[in-house]
Amino acid sequence: MPTETNETVRIRLRIGDAEATATLDDSYAARDFASLLPVTLQMHDLFGREKPGALPRELEIRGAPHEYDYEIGEVAYWPPSHDLVLFYAHDGQSIPAPGLVRLGTIDSGLEVIASAGDSFPLTVEIVQ
């Protein structure tokens, strides 16, 4: 299981030859997500605002705050289906219960995520 650290973890989100980068929050849930990396997920488009994809297992989110709103560029976790979610647009709608658990923020390459299409493999790895 993840341990307490104060290190910034940067990740690479690869779609074919294109990539985006993100920084994970210093949280238990984000460290648990980082423990899964590298991983390749099958992503899809949802509501023209987000790209979700199922993780190989649920994340440990005990004590994590749940959000009912999101920001463009947010990396989050949707607990009911164990999805990693990348937000690339905002439609003004809120997130239904049980809400999202925030994992981090996309730093660069948001357009790569936005233009990836309706179904694509995403490889997530730690930037060394």
Into how many domains does the chain fold? 1
Q: Which of 111, 99, 106 is nearest to 124 (CA)?
A: 106
What are the two backbone dihedrals, phi and then psi, of residue 98, each rounded to the nearest 5 degrees?
Answer: -90, 10
pLDDT at 1 > cutoff 50? no
Question: What mean pLDDT value characterizes the chain?
Answer: 95
Q: Which of 88, 104, 109 is nearest to 17 (CA)?
A: 109
pLDDT at 6: 60
Residue 3 lies in a domain: no
pLDDT at 7: 74
Residue-wise pLDDT tens digits, 34-64: 999 999 999 999 999 999 999 999 999 989 9
CATH of the domain at 19: 2.40.100.20
d(CA 91, CA 63): 28
Prediction pTM value: 0.93
> Average pLDDT in the 72-92 region?
97
Residue 50 lies in a domain: yes
